[in-house]
Amino acid sequence: MLVLEYKVKGRRQQYQAIDEAIRTTQFIRNKAIRYWIDAPREAKINRIALNNYSTALRKEFKFVEELNSMACQAATERAWSAIDRFYGNCKSKKPGKKGFPRFQKDNRSVEYKTSGWSIHPTKKRVTFTDKKGIGELKLLGKWDIYTYPVKSIKRVRLVGKADGYYCQFAVDIEVKTEQRTGDGELGLDVGLEFFYSDSNGHHEENPRFLKKAEKAIKHAQRQIYKKEKGKNQRRKARQRYARKHLKVNRQRNEHSKRLGRCVCKANALVAYEDLNVRGMVKNHCLAKSINDVGWGLFRHWLEYFAGKFNTTVVAVNPRFTSQKCSDCGAIVKKSLSTRTHKCSCGCDLQRDVNAAINILNRGIARDGQSRSNATGVGTSTLLGATLAEQVLT
């Protein structure tokens, strides 16, 4: 499945209609969650039951009837996705919270299936034909959607962002593999000092996008509270603040995408750390820096491009990778401030490079870990190292 995104241009009334459709989607999803919660135990609530419930909502509320019927079903499917994920976590006995479905308060998108929209023959305009009054929107972008047949478009999604509204087309095509430029093997050790250090001795600099933009973001945030509540100037100040965060998010995403593509294109095997990032950010001293570096996003793009270039990616347990000597295998205890690995066997390496070599060796030996590819399915190994050691390695 390929997702092509365009920015849409329309009139103010059309933007208001999009907002109304988004609020309706949130209403249907929350009502479906409430319907599941209030249902008696003997009642079997599944995807079909929730789809039928959307039909009942269309009869009860006029503003729900104005939304396309398949868009209403897509809203209940979002509710079922949250419910099904909760059931799956309970059955697998996932440690900690199981993710009980919550009511949504900040929905930003409405999704149409194969009806409720039509695309212009030039494929530069899209028209939404339900009773919400969205109408025809102009598409701005460079993606070549005109190269794909209309029948291959399975979903159309309108998304509201800080800098405007976007239309996303989910195109059902088979992802084609590309030729690799090399067949090397690489181990990656991510960290905060460097974005990652590889087993070849290369250090990729940590861009620190949030830290660089933090001064401007804080200034924009202070301007919000200087404006009177309910006034137009306060709304504009909030938009300026949101756009700065959106820019940082896009920079981080593009950086991870570029590096993930380069790494997978040049190597036949890539081994990386299976980090529990969600647990690591509980350290409040390092949470902002960990979120800024974006390890989880980088792993996502690694797994995606692995399928595109037919590269094997392996997630390994990072325990003791910084303490173990990559040459002789001896354990060399070192403090967190020690950035050089020196062993009695004569091995003298930068700490992160030594860890990257150990990660590569574990990846080659598979170390009991399963492989993953572009389907996004990876391992979920629990870490045995301390939190501080995980961060600095």
pLDDT single digits (tens) 232-288: 999 999 999 999 999 999 999 999 999 999 999 999 999 998 888 888 888 888 889
pLDDT at 373 over 60: no
Q: What integer pLDDT is reported at residue 103 of this predicted model?
A: 95
In a domain, 233, yes or no: no
Q: What integer pLDDT is reported at residue 147 of this predicted model?
A: 85
Q: Are residues 196 and 116 in the same domain?
A: no
**Residue 380: pLDDT band with limits 50, 70, 90:** very low
pLDDT at 208 over 90: yes
Compute CA distances 322 → 189, 199, 281, whole Å.
9, 13, 20
Structurally, the chain folds into a number of domains equal to 2
Coarse DSSP helix, strand, coil percentages of the chain, rounded to the nearest 5 percent: 45, 20, 35
Q: Are residues 165 and 313 in the same domain?
A: no
pLDDT digits over 61-114, tens only? Answer: 999 999 999 999 999 999 999 999 999 999 998 888 889 999 999 999 999 999
Least confident of 32-41, 195-204, 250-259, 371-380: 371-380
Q: What integer pLDDT is reported at residue 117 of this predicted model?
A: 94
In a domain, 353, yes or no: yes
The answer to whether the Cα torsion of 256, 258, 259, 265 is positive or negative is positive
In a domain, 222, yes or no: no
Least confident of 212-221, 275-284, 297-306: 275-284
User: Amino acid letter at 99?
Assistant: G
Q: Are residues 188 and 159 in the same domain?
A: no
Other C-beta atoms within 10 Å of 126: how many?
24
Residue pair 111/156 in contact by the 8 Å Cβ criterion: yes
Compute CA distances 198 → 156, 186, 190, whole Å.
40, 7, 9
**Residue 384: pLDDT band with limits 50, 70, 90:** very low
Q: What integer pLDDT is reported at residue 372 of this predicted model?
A: 43
Q: Across the strands, what pairs with 91?
A: none
**Residue 358: pLDDT band with limits 50, 70, 90:** confident
Compute CA distances 236 → 106, 223, 274, whole Å.
18, 10, 41
Q: Are residues 117 and 202 in the same domain?
A: no
Which burial class, exposed, middle or buried, applies to 214 when counting CB atoms under 10 A from its CB (0-12, 13-18, 19+)?
middle
Q: Are residues 128 and 45 in the same domain?
A: yes
Q: What integer pLDDT is reported at residue 366 of this predicted model?
A: 67
Instruction: Give the mean pLDDT of 112-118.
Output: 93
Round the average pLDDT of the chain to a whole number and report it: 87
Q: Are residues 80 and 196 in the same domain?
A: no
Q: Are residues 52 and 196 in the same domain?
A: no
Task: Determine the Cα–Cα distance for residues 57 and 19; give it in Å rounded to an integer.
Answer: 19
Q: What integer pLDDT is reported at residue 376 of this predicted model?
A: 36
In a domain, 229, yes or no: no
Instruction: Give the mean pLDDT of 158-183.
Output: 89
Instruction: Give the mean pLDDT of 1-20.
Output: 93
Task: Determine the Cα–Cα distance for residues 155 and 113; give it in Å rounded to an integer.
Answer: 5
Structure tokens at 271: 């081994």
Structure tokens at 69: 């019927």
Instruction: Give the mean pLDDT of 225-229.
Output: 92
Half-sphere exposure of 222 (CA within 13 A, CB side): 6
Q: Are residues 36 and 150 in the same domain?
A: yes
Q: Are residues 74 and 201 in the same domain?
A: no
Where is the domain boundary, 171, 198, 232? 171
Q: Are residues 162 and 200 in the same domain?
A: no
Which residues, at least 6 apart from 243, have a Cβ–Cβ distance to it below 8 Å? 162, 163
In a domain, 345, yes or no: yes
Structure tokens at 377: 């399915």
Domain that holds residue 140: 2-171
pLDDT at 378 over 80: no
Instruction: Give the mean pLDDT of 306-317.
Output: 90
**Residue 339: pLDDT band with limits 50, 70, 90:** confident
Instruction: Give the mean pLDDT of 358-369.
Output: 74
- DSSP one-letter string for 197-234: EETTS-EEE---HHHHHHHHHHHHHHHHHTSPTTSHHH
In a domain, 218, yes or no: no
Q: Which residue has the higher pLDDT, 341 or 74?
A: 74
Q: What integer pLDDT is reported at residue 20 of this predicted model?
A: 96
pLDDT at 5 over 50: yes
pLDDT over 90 percentage in the chain: 57
